[in-house]
């Protein structure tokens, strides 16, 4: 919770995030081991994910046609993705006709520079931000900070993360790893340094903490000249952007500043306004487990006399076209960032979001991140293995992304990228054993002997050195049995045969 002062550059405007860059992160098992040791984190996560899982199940049960909605959501997204070039051109045309200025950004650096240039052209040195995964993905805040522009997160959870010098650990509730008393500590320690301090006598009552955020941010909303948002949906037919939120911080940012810049991943496109009837039923119930989220804003470019009079839309690729090129993996682009797969995942619940080394954690992160970033780094190669393939994520996904299918597909790609692997060698050995009954009998003979000489029931951690040790260290190898299945079978089946013979 202590600041990380950066002495090499100008004085920071906003709280510094932790110094580790996500790209250089160690692989998932190493991260997971570290996070598993944090009991507070596990208890916070268990509490939060259990609550939201139960609530989601309740509101989903209210809709008898839920499966039809999921199928429709899947089909609409597939249709859009398979004709994405046409829909994007249509979106650009309608947005422009509505008075918006459309930019195309191939990567993070280009998108960040567009935001910096627009902000500077307005003479502004700060922006207020609506919670947005796309801007997290491109690390916009740090790019702005380096350009001397302060980016203020206004979503409560993002504010907790920003003030806590922390990183998000969940798509929907980035501060899910913090409990109320930790939030209180962060507010007391940091809020006053960056604006209106928390009220006297701040307790850990969530309502009072939310009240402190209201007071802290009000002045920032009222004075901001430029706002930055993402978008949940972009309607090609009408040039309309949609932001789904709860607190009203989104409405503040989308309404009060004179200039609005929205960073929109190209896969957010939907063909028609009517398509929203499907997604506005799927998304709130899957994400916050509500029948409807408190606020949804829709705007079509510039509305004279109402809201920002300069509206920019940045269409972002940043690896999405790579995902699109993979016929199995492209279904990940259907994702509407609801986070139901995180909340249901037994792996996520135990290790939390930070272990995934990406702004997209959990099952969806395990298939999206390696496709967006490629499988060049250790952490990205390990992500497709961060799952037990239990399939719960697929069952809850509102757009029916078959996450286990993509995980297995990506595991194959990782193995292929390595050529010969330890796993391959083990499998080769296994195939020799299994090739002939005689080979298996030989191996079993050796194993039986070992079982007779070994005292006790377990040998202890499996003594295999090298890369496999991470798995074998944590598992006890049972003592080999003194009788093989084949021996047992022969013995058991000889007896009745002999009896039968003597009776005849």
Partner 1 sequence: MSSKEAMLGRIRSALTDVTPMAPADDVAVEWTYGQRPPGASDDMLGLFVERVEDYKAVVSWVVPDEVPVRIANALADHDVTSAVVPAGAPAAWHEAVAAAGIAVVTDDPVLSHAELDATGGVVTASRVGIAETGTIVLDHAADQGRRALSLVPDVHVCVIGSDQVVSDVPEAVVRLQTSIDERLPLTWISGPSATSDIELSRVEGVHGPRILHVLLVNV
Binders in 139-178 for partner 1, by CB under 8 A: 154-157, 160, 173, 175-176, 178
Tell me if 372 sits within 8 A of 134, measured CB to CB: no
Q: Pick from 281, 369, 371, 377: which binds partner 1 (CB under 8 A)? A: 281
Number of neighbours of residue 368 by Cβ within 10 angstroms: 28
Of the pair 63, 415, the CB lying nearest partner 1 is at 63
**Which of the ranges 119-127, 236-244, 391-399, 468-476 carries the binding residues for partner 1, by CB under 8 A?**
236-244
Q: From the CB of 297, what's the least distance to partner 1, in Å?
A: 6
301 sits near partner 1 (criterion: CB under 8 A): yes
Subset of 318-337 contacting partner 1 (CB under 8 A): 321-322, 324-325, 327, 330
User: CB–CB of 302/311 below 8 Å?
Assistant: yes
* 78 near partner 1, rule: CB under 8 A: yes
Radius of gyration of the chain from its Cα atoms, rounded to whole angstroms: 27
Cβ of residue 45: shortest distance to partner 1, in angstroms? 10
The β-bridge relationship of strands 476-478 and 269-270 is unpaired
CB atoms within 10 A of CB 419: 7
The verdict on 232 binding partner 1 (CB under 8 A) reads no
Closest Cα partner for 133 from 73, 178, 173?
173
Figure out which of the listed residues 28, 299, 348, 360 binds partner 1, where binding follows CB under 8 A.
299
Binding flag, residue 82, partner 1 (CB under 8 A): yes
For residue 337, which of 156, 136, 166 has the smallest C-alpha distance? 136
Stretch binding partner 1 (CB under 8 A), from 45-53, 355-363, 369-377, 481-489:
45-53
Which is nearer to partner 1, 213 or 379 (by Cβ)?
A: 213
When asked if residue 47 is in the footprint of partner 1 (CB under 8 A), the reply is: yes
3-state SS record for 377-430: CHHHHHHHHCCCCCCHHHHHCCCCCCHHHHHHHHHHHHHHHHCCCHHHHHHHHH
Quick check: 58 binds partner 1 (CB under 8 A)?
no
Tell me how far apart the alpha carbons of residues 52 and 171 are, in angstroms, rounded to a whole number.
14
Contact flag: residue 217 with partner 1 (CB under 8 A): yes
Q: Does 80 bind partner 1 (CB under 8 A)?
A: yes
Q: Which helix H or strand E contains 63, and what residues bound it?
A: none
Task: Compare residues 266 and 351 and give the one whose CB is closer to partner 1.
Answer: 266
**Mapping DSSP to helix (H, G, I), strand (E, B) and coil, where does residue 310 land?**
strand
Residue 138 found at the interface with partner 1 (CB under 8 A): no
Q: Does 137 bind partner 1 (CB under 8 A)?
A: no
Distances (CA, A) of 91 to 64, 88, 237, 315: 34, 5, 7, 10
CA distance readout (Å), 181 to 42, 99, 495: 15, 46, 69
* Least spacing, CB of residue 153 vs partner 1, in Å: 12
- Judged by CB under 8 A, the chain residues 88 through 107 that form the site for partner 1 are 88-89, 98, 104-106
- For position 110 contacting partner 1 by CB under 8 A, the verdict is yes
Does position 271 interact with partner 1 (CB under 8 A)? The reply is yes
Q: Residue 29 or 307: which CB sits closer to partner 1?
A: 307
- Residues in the interface with partner 1 (CB under 8 A) total 100
Q: Which residues contact 378 (CB under 8 A, 6 or more apart)?
A: 26, 27
- List 96, 196, 293, 482, residue binding partner 1 (CB under 8 A): 293
């Amino acid at each position: 919770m202590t600041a990380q002062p950066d002495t090499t550059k100008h004085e920071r405007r906003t709280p510094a995030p932790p110094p580790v860059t996500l790209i250089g992160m160690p692989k998932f098992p190493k991260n997971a081991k570290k996070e598993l040791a944090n009991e507070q984190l596990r208890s916070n996560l268990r509490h939060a994910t259990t609550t939201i899982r139960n609530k989601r199940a309740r509101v989903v049960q209210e809709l008898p046609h839920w499966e039809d909605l999921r199928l429709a959501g899947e089909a609409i997204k597939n249709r859009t993705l398979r004709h994405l070039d046409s829909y994007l051109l249509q979106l650009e045309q309608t947005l422009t006709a509505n008075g918006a200025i459309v930019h195309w950004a191939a990567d993070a650096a280009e998108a960040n520079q567009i935001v910096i240039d627009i902000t500077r052209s307005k003479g502004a040195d700060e922006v207020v931000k609506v919670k947005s995964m796309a801007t997290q993905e491109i690390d916009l805040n740090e790019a702005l900070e380096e350009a001397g522009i302060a980016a203020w997160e206004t979503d409560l959870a993002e504010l907790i993360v920003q003030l806590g010098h922390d990183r998000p650990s969940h798509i929907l509730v980035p501060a899910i790893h913090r409990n109320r008393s930790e939030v209180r500590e962060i507010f007391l320690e940091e809020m006053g340094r960056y604006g209106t301090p928390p009220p006297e006598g701040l307790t850990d009552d969530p309502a009072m903490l939310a009240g402190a955020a209201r007071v802290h941010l009000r002045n920032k909303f009222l004075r901001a000249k430029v706002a930055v948002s993402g978008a949940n949906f972009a309607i090609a037919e009408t040039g309309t952007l949609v932001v789904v939120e709860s607190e009203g911080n989104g409405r503040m940012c989308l309404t009060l500043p004179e200039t609005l810049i929205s960073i929109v991943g190209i896969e957010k496109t939907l063909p028609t306004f009517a398509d929203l009837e499907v997604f506005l039923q799927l998304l709130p119930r899957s994400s916050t487990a509500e029948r409807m989220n408190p606020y949804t804003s829709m705007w079509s470019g510039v509305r004279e006399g109402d809201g920002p009079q300069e509206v920019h839309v940045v269409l972002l690729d940043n690896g999405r076209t790579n995902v699109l090129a993979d016929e199995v993996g492209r279904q990940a682009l259907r994702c509407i960032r609801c986070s139901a797969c995180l909340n249901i995942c037994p792996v996520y619940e135990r290790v939390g979001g930070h272990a995934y080394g990406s702004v997209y954690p959990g099952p969806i992160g395990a298939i999206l991140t390696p496709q967006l970033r490629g499988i060049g780094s250790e952490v990205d190669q390990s992500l497709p293995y961060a799952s037990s393939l239990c399939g719960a994520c697929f069952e809850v996904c509102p757009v029916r992304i078959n996450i286990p299918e993509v995980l297995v597909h990506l595991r194959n790609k990782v193995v292929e990228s390595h050529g010969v692997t330890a796993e391959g060698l083990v499998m080769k050995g296994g195939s020799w054993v299994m090739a002939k009954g005689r080979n298996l009998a030989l191996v079993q003979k050796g194993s039986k002997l070992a079982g007779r000489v070994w005292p006790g029931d377990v040998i202890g951690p499996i003594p295999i050195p090298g890369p496999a040790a991470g798995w074998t260290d944590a598992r006890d190898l049972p003592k080999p049995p003194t009788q093989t299945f084949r021996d047992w079978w022969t013995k058991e089946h000889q007896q009745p045969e002999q009896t039968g013979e003597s009776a005849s």
